[in-house]
Amino acid sequence: MEASEKNTMNRWLPVVGALLIQLALGAVYAFSIFTGPLSETLGHARTSFYILGIFGTAIAVFAITMIVAGRLQDKRGPRVVATLGGLVYGAGYIVASFFTENIAMLYVSYGIIGGIGLGLGYVCPLAAVVKWFPDKKGLVSGIAVAGFGAGAFIFTQVGKYIINASDDGLSNAFLYLGLIFIAMVVAGAQLLRNPPVGWMPKGFNPDSKHNGQVVDYDWHEMVKSRSFILLNMMFLLSATAGLMMIGNVSNVAAYLDPSKTMLVVAQAPTIAGVLALFNGAGRIGWGKVSDILGRNKTMRLVFLIQALILFGAAAFVWAKPADEMLQFIGLTAFASAIGFTFGGNFALFPSATADYFGTKNLGVNYGLVFTGYGAAGVLGSLIPSLLAGSDDGFTWVFVAVGIASLVTFAMAMVIRPPQKK
């Protein structure tokens, strides 16, 4: 029997809490504002893996932590785990503020400590809102994580302002942002709660949905399925493109304008911010589309569009237009389009995980699927560090991630829900 709607909280409150948390966590995607200042303090090229690897480490640790955080969330509930995540995430930034000239400590603070905080904080609001909205999984997954993209836009501007405000701007940016993030995540966590066992929204009949009754899988069963392997690999290959772009907006701008005197370089942080907005919009937009078309059809559409955009971007950077307005408009357009398709991953993959494997163990199950994203963080940093140094470097970077997106599209053509025996 379904749990009564009486004595349950307004199911939109966890969505509000999720947005607040994700706004703070999304600042990790503002990393491109740090690459220039860190290049100066550390003495490494801004496209080197030494610097881009800090961001890649944070993403990899983020994904690994999601597995543990998912299990904790399923057992202890989202509020406690998300609160802990906020404290750890903010601490990573605060510790980094004292070590802006020490690359090893930046890997430890921003990469490892910050990455752990991300993993603890990220999974809780997402798992909670999907359980409250079995009738709108794609849409609310998108809304819940849209704050991640919007937060990157907001804190790109905030961080850029702090960095430019004083000689100690880089250290101050890490410190002040860390304090802000602790306050935001801890506050948002207090609005999170899982629904009662068996609760369903009034009028919702899961048997009437196109995918029928979903069987709940535990993680041991899930990882043995072909569907899990494909989802994990699809996440890896699809997310690589967006993570590469997020970490390299300023570097692509400098590639287009080596003199660093034109509009595209001066406005690179603005381009990164616009990318972040489209990232957030893509999460909501593709989530809603997937509720209408179905998860599989929408994934195929996203991955094919993303591949075409990336090949177009390769042609643009190969042409290397001399006109500064064309440089600015072109890079903004391609970065925004990549951000929009990238955002779709974060509505589609949690929803697909719930569709395929049920919501009972969604925290840990999605944490395992999410490890593909963690590997993408490393790959998205490694590809430009290997290819961007040549004369046509960023052309081949975009070609490489475009091919990866085509492979993802091929996988989406063959993936099917598992059949539990």
Structure tokens at 287: 């989530």
Q: What residues are paired with 199 via a beta bridge?
A: 3
Helices 114-132 and 169-189, axial angle in degrees (round to 10): 30
311-345 confidence digits (pLDDT tens): 999 999 999 888 889 999 999 999 999 999 999 99
Q: For residue 6, is pLDDT > 50?
A: no
At residue 269, the pLDDT reads 80
Q: Which of 122, 127, 110 is nearest to 37 (CA)?
A: 110
Per DSSP, 199 falls in state B
At residue 8, the pLDDT reads 56
SS3 (DSSP) at 37: helix
At residue 102, the pLDDT reads 92
In a domain, 202, yes or no: no
Strands, E assignment, 140-220 = none
What's the pLDDT band for 171 if we cut at 50, 70, 90? very high
The answer to whether the CB of 380 falls within 8 A of the CB of 47 is: no
Structure tokens at 167: 């000689």
Q: Which of 279, 226, 216, 257 is nearest to 26 (CA)?
A: 279
Averaged pLDDT, 222-239? 95
Length of the chain in terms of residues written: 421
Q: For residue 225, is pLDDT > 50?
A: yes
Q: For residue 203, is pLDDT > 70?
A: no
Rounded Cα distance between 346 and 280, Å, is 10
In a domain, 78, yes or no: yes
Rounded Cα distance between 363 and 138, Å, is 16
Residue labelled with tokens 């942002």:
177
Lowest pLDDT segment from 60-64, 95-99, 233-237: 60-64
In a domain, 221, yes or no: yes
Higher-confidence position of 245 and 206? 245
Rounded Cα distance between 211 and 200, Å, is 17
Rounded Cα distance between 353 and 125, Å, is 16
Q: Which of 277, 345, 274 is nearest to 305 (CA)?
A: 345
What's the pLDDT band for 72 if we cut at 50, 70, 90? confident
23-63 confidence digits (pLDDT tens): 999 999 888 888 888 888 888 876 677 888 898 899 889 98
Domain that holds residue 352: 13-194+215-414
Q: For residue 208, is pLDDT > 70?
A: no
Rounded Cα distance between 313 and 396, Å, is 10
At residue 123, the pLDDT reads 84
Question: Apex CA 74: angle with CA 69 and CA 80, to 5°?
Answer: 65
Q: How many angstroms separate the most distant Cα atoms in the chain?
A: 68
Overall number of domains in the chain: 1
At residue 81, the pLDDT reads 94
Q: For residue 390, is pLDDT > 70?
A: no
In a domain, 387, yes or no: yes
Higher-confidence position of 47 and 281? 281
Residue 182: what residue type?
Answer: I
Higher-confidence position of 35 and 137? 35
Q: For residue 2, is pLDDT > 50?
A: no
**CA 90, 95, 99, 103 torsion-angle sign:** negative
Close Cβ partners of 198 (under 8 Å, ≥ 6 residues apart): 1, 2, 3
Q: What percent of the chain has pLDDT over 90?
A: 46
342-363 confidence digits (pLDDT tens): 999 988 998 899 889 988 888 8
In a domain, 123, yes or no: yes
At residue 213, the pLDDT reads 57
In a domain, 114, yes or no: yes
Residue 209: what residue type?
Answer: K
Q: What is the CATH number of the domain that holds 79?
A: 1.20.1250.20
Q: What percent of the chain has pLDDT over 70?
A: 93
Rounded Cα distance between 340 and 197, Å, is 35
Structure tokens at 74: 């399923």
In a domain, 201, yes or no: no
In a domain, 6, yes or no: no
At residue 211, the pLDDT reads 46
Per DSSP, 196 falls in state P
Lowest pLDDT segment from 20-24, 311-315, 382-386, 408-412: 382-386
Averaged pLDDT, 271-293? 88
295-328: b or e for each residue (b if 16 or more CB lie within 10 Å)? bbebbbbbbbbbbebbbebbebbeeeeeebeebb
